[in-house]
Structure formats: structure tokens, C-alpha cells
Structure 1
Amino acid sequence: MADRLSARDVIALVSAEFTEIAYPRTEFKPDGPLSWQGYDESRVRAAARTGEEESVVCGTAAIGDTSAVLIAFEFGFLGGSLGERTGDRLEAAYSHAREHRLPVVSLVATGGSRMQEGMLALTQLQRVARQSALTREAGLAQIAVLRDPTTGGGWATLGAGADVTLALPGAQVGFAGSRVRPPDADPAAYTAEAQLAAGAVDAVVRPEELRQRLALWLGLLTRPSAEAAPPPPALGTLDLPATGWDAVQRARSAQRPRAAAYLDAYFTRRVTISGDRCGGTDDGMLCGFGLAEDGRPLAYAAQCGTATRPAGYRTAARLIRLAGRLGIPVLTLVDTPGAANDAAAERQGAGAAIADLFAAVATARTPVTTLVIGEGGSGGALALAAPGNTWAAPDSYFSVIAPELAAAILKRPADQVRPTADQLHVRPQDLLGLGLIRGIAEDPKG
């Protein structure tokens, strides 16, 4: 069941220390800027019912070991709607965050823009979007928590526009509120869980876990570092393959350690981001942030051995750009037979998604370190690899094309696949000799 906590209650849920900031004061003529009859009375009733003077409460709070600007919506005040005074408060909160170099956490519960203020209310979305963009340019993290309901412009700015978007179970989330949707619309599509499945939300978090989860996220997103991530040690076979075909067979082995094993060994704690924000997810690409053994936060994007789908490439690009804005180094793990090449992948923009990831890696603002842990299949793998800082595990290979496909293109018989693998120089030691990788991962025991 989604929560309907008040603004003060949800603030208390995530922090025991909260100090409200000073707000500017916008004076209205009677019944507001449009002289909407009864508007003043509605506001008076809302204030009496909630104890608040507006639909948002803003201040600073300690969440775990991190100080943050906290924005909490009061849905009981005119449905948490945004008006001109709401915009004043939100602008003041974002300005305070930039002035004091603090991340922003928004606890959103809103029905949209306030009709009694007409277009003046709607244009507050532009105001909020600008403040969010300025805060992003300043390198400060923004986390949104979607409560029930989060609809309209609040979802399309504070919610969907955050760097990391969490949601409470069962919360109504969607641009269209329940009273303005088509009569045949499926209500299940407008939920936190549906938005997670569609790649618009990173995680659904239970209320009792929210404080701990926010503390972890803030700790990971607010500690920049200029030092590149060290490559993980090898977890599988340590001896090098004798032939190219041996390298291919080892990389394809079901017993070889996969991305999850490498991430679990490398990080003491980690969290995930999910989705490409374009309607897609890919379980074969794990992305998120974690604490390395030396205590440094790092970002990671890891292929899981499957053909990577367009949503996976877009999610990885999103991760790398976010890490760059926040000054966090990136670790990537390459393991894919190649990019998904079915008709659905083409319709989902496979080429554009791969191009976007190539661009994100090429222009990364923070160091990117890559380890090839399995199959390195063509451009679908290369897009995730760091130029000049790629390493390879002993049980991996990297190739311009799979040996079987190369033999087929060259019109060679099936018995020529193995020698073709040798000709392609796909082994880790071959890649090192060609200067394509910096080194081969070593035994974790030294």
C-alpha cells in the first residue's frame, strides 16, 4: 500500500535532524494572480488541515553521514500542487544547495500544477527545470523519492529529472493523473513497479528501508575522486590459453566467473541504477555505484555474458555521464558475444545506442578502467571498453568478430573455425602483444 504520509512525517522517516530554510514571500492580490473566486478560502482550509503554508517544505537534513537539502511535498495542501509560491520555495532550496555544495533529495507527492493560478503555475515547471539543471552543472547529486501520487509536472521535473529515482511500493506514478487518463487506460501502467519495469525508476524501496538506502546512495554520490579504479584481479583460470580457440572456449564456459561474482568480490557494498529512461531495461547490463575495498566510491557498468540490448547500452552511457558529473571513476566489465542483432533491437535503435555509449566513454570526465572477463564480441563489446586502460582476464578473448562468423564470411568450411580463431589473435597475450590492452589480470592472492 502506498504511503500518504505528511511532509513532516516523511521528513522524520528519513532524518532525525531537519532545519527549515528561510523562504522568499510572494504577496498575492485577493484570490491569487487570476482572482480565482474561493482560492484564498481553499488555501486557508489547506493550512488549517496540514499546518503548512504551502505544498512543499524545504530545509537541510542529515541523512546518514551526509548533509543534504531536503524537499518534501505536502499532498494534503491542495494535492501537493505547484504554484508560484511553491516555485519560490523550490528555487530557494536549490539555490541553498548550490551555495553550500549539498546534494538534493526530493520526497515527491504531487498532483501537478495548480489550476487556480493558471499558466503562472504551469511555468513553475520551467523554473524548477532550470534550477535542477544548474544544480546538475554544479556537480551536485539529485535523488528523488516518488511517493503516492507523483503525477503531472512534478513527475516530469523533480521526479524523472533526478539523477537517481527511487519509489515507494504501490505509489501512483505517471505524467497523467487518474482523473485525466483515457477511460480504457490500464491503471497498472501508472505504478512505481510499472515505471521500474519501463526503465524510468531505479528501485522500489520500502518505507522502513528508505533512510538507510538514501544514506548509502548519498555516501556513494558525494565523494569525488580523480584516481582511476584498479582493475579487478582474475577470479577464474589463471593460466593462459594455448590457442585462439582455447581462449574462445574458456570464455564461453558455463563455469567461468561472471560479472556478479566480480562485482561482489570488488565492492563491499553496491547499489544499482536501472533503465535507460527511454522505456527500456536490460538485465544483461549491471550498472550502479559501489564502495571499493579502499573505501572509495566507484561507478560500474558490467555486461553479464548475454547479447547486449539497446537499453543496456543507453543505461551504461547514462551511468558514465552521471559518474562524470559527480567526479566518480568508472569500472567497466566486458562480457558479451556481441550486440543484440534481432529485429526488435534494430527497432529499438541499436546503432544509435552503441554510438551513444562509444561517445560517453570517449568523452568521460572521470577515468574509466575496463576488464574483459569473458567474451569480447566485436563493437558490441568495444563500446564499453576504455581506450588505453583496458585489461583482460586469462579466461577471456577479444575479437573483431566471432571465429565462426569470420569463417562463414570468408566462405571457409567448419573445420577452419579453429585456425581462424588463431589468425584473429584473440588471446589475452595476443592482445597484449598488439598493444591493445595494458595487462592481464593476476591472481587475487598475488
Structure 2
Amino acid sequence: MAERLPARAVLDAVSEGFAELPGSGAGRGAGDGDGGGSGDGPIGWSGYGAARAGARERTGERESVVCGTGTVGGVRTVLLAFEFGFLGGSLGQRTGDRIEAAHRYARAERLPVVSLIATGGSRMQEGMRALAQLQRVARQSALTRATGLPQIAVARDPTTGGGWATLGAGSDVVLALPGAQVAFAGSRVRPPGADPAAYRAEEKLASGQVDRIVAPEELREALGRWLSLLASPADGPPEPPRALGTAPGLPRTGWEAVERARAPHRPRADAYLDAYFEVREEISGDRCGGTDPGMRCGFGMRNGRTVAYAAQCGTPNLPAGFRTAARLVRMADRLGIPVLTLVDTPGAANDEAAERSGAGAAIADAFAAVAEARVPVTTLVVGEGGSGGALALAASGNTWVTPDSYFSVIAPESAAAILKRGPERVRETADALRLRPQDLVELGIARGIVPS
């Protein structure tokens, strides 16, 4: 189980110069936290007033969340830290008041928001008044998102209920502590016999709902990197990377272009990303239960400025990969960060599992995300450009190619089969498809061939 630290200890661990927002400190009056009324709260829950008083005495806090500003990685940031010792970090009306005030301040000052969550959910002692706070929190998060400010969540132990379903899962980037409970269902309301692993951070990472698991001692550094990346967008379209490890000259035939692109030792996405960026951080998963190791998405620093990237890794991409890429492009667009895409896939996965997972809809969403982007998008084809699965990530009018790549309406073997040509005519078909790098430039599909 992840260690449960008090809110202020967590704030001290991740930030410098933390200062509470006006009106949210421990000096509030005796009525603070009463859900808008006095005594036992808005629904008259017997003993609620005494429970709040005991929580104040134990924790030194007046509510379940501490809100303020601090510096993380050199970036001034609005910080929300839940105090689990205060009634299980539950959300009541005054919790909602504080979170709303924090988001309003973030928008007014143009600051990112980091939520350090540890909550068991809504406060039952305030009834529907408490549950309604989720609407307030969701609205404030949406308003902050609409202004182009990044939101990062850290799922501490536990992060359950409405806190996970609003501040947690609704953030741009979600980090989690090892072993933390991260789930909509809390431990006391799950079905009998439910697998505990399904409610842990590690399973959420595997199912594409968390971007990374970070050890507590690494959290400050990780948050600093993320905030620095999301606060420093590059100006203008990214320049395409230089070609890596290419064979001399251009391919003479279409089939030679295909063989070069399929060469097992040809540089792949990781090599290009490592050569292009000084530092980078990745997001993971489609937030719908899926991941695709063949699609790398994240943000990287180049010459002191940030570029987002979505990179295919040479495998047939799964629906989850296209959804993750669409998520990345839309996040970058909202934050004003230009995008680099690397195309390298024989095509989208076309097996039964892919169809059942919504391959068509996922590819359509990737096409739409790239087409709708207001930020510049640059594409480099670094290997195979197989049909619509490759084109979904390609920028119209700003696509470049390497000498050892090809781009085709369909793979030569599939084209030959569809046209009822025998295997002996596959090479001929590759020539007829005009898929070589120089063909793509001549056809106006690619702007140019990048040098090595």
C-alpha cells in the first residue's frame, strides 16, 4: 500500500515556497467546513459537527483539501493537496468552495494546476449537497482546460470515487504512486470477490488510464519536468528530423523501397526521438482501457522549447494506439504546442480483436484530431507508410520522407491479391504503385526527402 502522508508534507516534498490562497488557511472561523450551515451540516447528520471538530484537532486543517501556490521545477503552479486524515479526504461543500477558488485563481494568473489527490469520495454526511460538488469541480476543471492551462493529477492512496472521476481521470496527465488504490469504486463498495489488483495504480497503467507510476522520492522531479515541458511551447512548425542510418542513394525500384523500409535493423521511432529531443516525457493509453506499445506519444524539449509527438514504431497499430495519438494531438492543440508525427506502420491492425475494439472509429478520430489541429503539425515518414493506418497521422501539406521509406495506398502484396495478380507480380505492382520517396515528392504527397 502506498504511504499516506499529510497534505502539507506532500506539498513540502514537491514544491518550494508554498503559500495558501487567501481565505483557505487554518485560521478560518469555527463554522468552516460545515457544508454551508452549522452544527451537523446541511442534512442534519447526527454527530457530523463533532466529527469535523475531531478531524480539525487531529490534522490541524479546517477542510479536506489545502489549496495554494508554489514553485515546481521553476514553474509557479496552483497546488491542491488532499488531507486524507480529514474525514478520509472526502469532498464536501467547503471542499468544493476551495477547489473552485483555486481554479479561478489559476485562470486569473495563467497558472497550471497540480492536484495531489487522496480521497475516499463524496462526504455522505452532507448528502446530495456533497455529491453535487462533483459538478462544480468538473465545471471548474473544464473551464481551466478551455483556457489552455495544463492540469496534472497525482493519484495518491487512495484515489477513489468522485475525486478520481473528476480531478484525477479528467486531468491532462495522470501520475500515480506505486500501489495506490485508484478506482471509481472504493474498497468497501466493490463486488464480493473482486480482484484487488484491478483497483490499483499498476492495473490502471496497464489499461491506459494512468500515464506513469512515480516513486514518492521521484515525484518532485517528475512534476518539474512535466510542468517545464507543458509551459514552454515551441514557436511555429517543428522541423522534420534528419534521416538516420539510411542506405546510400534513393531506391531504384518500388520493391527496393519496400525492402529498405522493412529492413529489420532500420532505425525506428525511439532512435529518432532520442536524436531529436534533449528530454521527453510520455503519456500512456487511450483512457478507454487500452494501450498500444507500437504508438509512442508524449512531449519533448528541443532547443529549449516543447514539441508534442506521436510516433508509430513499425508494427500494425491497435485502436488504442490511434485513440492515444488523437488524445495527444488534441491535448497539444489545447495547450498551443506544435506536433511532430513519425509514420512507420505496415497498416492498422485488422484482426478480429481490432475490429471489436473499434478500429474504424479510432482511425477516424485520429484523422479528425490531425485535421482539426490549430497548431502546426509536421510529419516524417521514417519507414513503412501502409495505407490509412499511416495516413491518419500524416499532416496534409507538411509531410516529409526519408530515403528508406515508402508510402502506399496499400501494401504491394495486398494490392496484387485484390487485383488478382499472382505472387510473381508483387514487385511489378510495387513499381506501379509509385510508392518510392522520390515518387511521393513528384506526386505532391511529400514536401521533400530529408537528408541524413
User: Which residue identity does 2:175 align to in structure 1?
Assistant: L
What is the distance in 2 between the residues matched to 1:259 and 1:410?
33
What is the distance in 2 between the residues matched to 1:100 and 1:132?
15
Please tell me whether residue 2 in structure 1 is matched to residue 2 in structure 2: yes
SS in 1 for 2:2: coil
Please tell me whether residue 71 in structure 1 is matched to residue 80 in structure 2: yes
User: Which residue identity does 2:287 align to in structure 1?
Assistant: R
Q: Confirm or deny: 8 A CA contact 2:244 2:267 kept in the other structure.
A: yes
What is the distance in 1 between the residues matched to 2:307 and 2:352?
35
* Matching of residues 19-418 of structure 1 within 5 Å: 19-23=19-23, 27-237=36-246, 238-292=248-302, 294-418=303-427
Which residue of 430, 433, 445 maps to 2:442? Answer: 433
Q: Confirm or deny: 8 A CA contact 1:23 1:92 kept in the other structure.
A: no
SS in 1 for 2:334: helix
Q: Deviations over 1:142-171 (max 9, x none)?
A: 000000000000000000000000000000
What is the distance in 2 between the residues matched to 1:27 and 1:147?
28
Q: Confirm or deny: 8 A CA contact 2:36 2:42 kept in the other structure.
A: no
What is the distance in 2 between the residues matched to 1:379 and 1:127?
41
User: Which residue identity does 2:15 align to in structure 1?
Assistant: S
Q: Deviations over 1:120-155 (max 9, x none)?
A: 000000000000000000000000000000000000
Q: Confirm or deny: 8 A CA contact 1:226 1:366 kept in the other structure.
A: no
Q: CA deviation at 1:226?
A: 3.7
CA RMSD of aligned residues (A): 0.9
SS in 2 for 1:227: coil
Q: CA deviation at 1:16?
A: 2.5
Q: Confirm or deny: 8 A CA contact 2:177 2:201 kept in the other structure.
A: yes
Q: CA deviation at 1:65?
A: 1.0
Q: Confirm or deny: 8 A CA contact 1:226 1:327 kept in the other structure.
A: no
User: Which residue identity does 1:143 align to in structure 2?
Assistant: I
In structure 2, runs of 5+ residues without a counterpart are 25-31
User: Which residue identity does 2:317 align to in structure 1?
Assistant: T
What is the distance in 1 between the residues matched to 2:363 and 2:192?
39
What is the distance in 1 between the residues matched to 2:324 and 2:36?
44
Q: CA deviation at 1:415?
A: 1.2
Q: Confirm or deny: 8 A CA contact 1:396 1:428 kept in the other structure.
A: yes
Q: CA deviation at 1:255?
A: 1.1
SS in 2 for 1:71: strand
Greater than 4 Å deviation, 4+ residue runs: 24-27
Q: Deviations over 1:369-406 (max 9, x none)?
A: 00000000000000000000000010000000000111
Q: CA deviation at 1:224?
A: 2.9
In structure 1, runs of 5+ residues without a counterpart are none
What is the distance in 1 between the residues matched to 2:433 and 2:100?
58
Q: Deviations over 1:29-76 (max 9, x none)?
A: 221111111000000000000010000000001001100000000000
Q: Confirm or deny: 8 A CA contact 2:36 2:93 kept in the other structure.
A: no
SS in 2 for 1:17: strand
Q: Confirm or deny: 8 A CA contact 1:226 1:367 kept in the other structure.
A: no
Q: Confirm or deny: 8 A CA contact 2:78 2:111 kept in the other structure.
A: yes
Q: CA deviation at 1:23?
A: 3.2
SS in 2 for 1:440: coil
Counterpart in the other structure of 1:11: 11
Range with bigger deviation, 236-245 or 273-282: 236-245
Q: Deviations over 1:184-210 (max 9, x none)?
A: 110010000000001000000000100
Q: CA deviation at 1:278?
A: 0.5
What is the distance in 2 between the residues matched to 1:264 and 1:223?
19
Query: What is the percentage of aligned positions where both structures have the same residue?
Result: 71
Q: CA deviation at 1:27?
A: 4.5
What is the distance in 2 between the residues matched to 1:398 and 1:157?
42
Q: Confirm or deny: 8 A CA contact 1:287 1:315 kept in the other structure.
A: yes
What is the distance in 2 between the residues matched to 1:290 and 1:382?
23
User: Which residue identity does 1:183 align to in structure 2?
Assistant: P
Q: CA deviation at 1:225?
A: 3.5
TM-score using structure 2 length = 0.97
SS in 2 for 1:155: helix
What is the distance in 1 between the residues matched to 2:310 and 2:395?
12
Q: CA deviation at 1:239?
A: 1.6
User: Which residue identity does 2:437 align to in structure 1?
Assistant: P
Range with bigger deviation, 303-312 or 29-38: 29-38
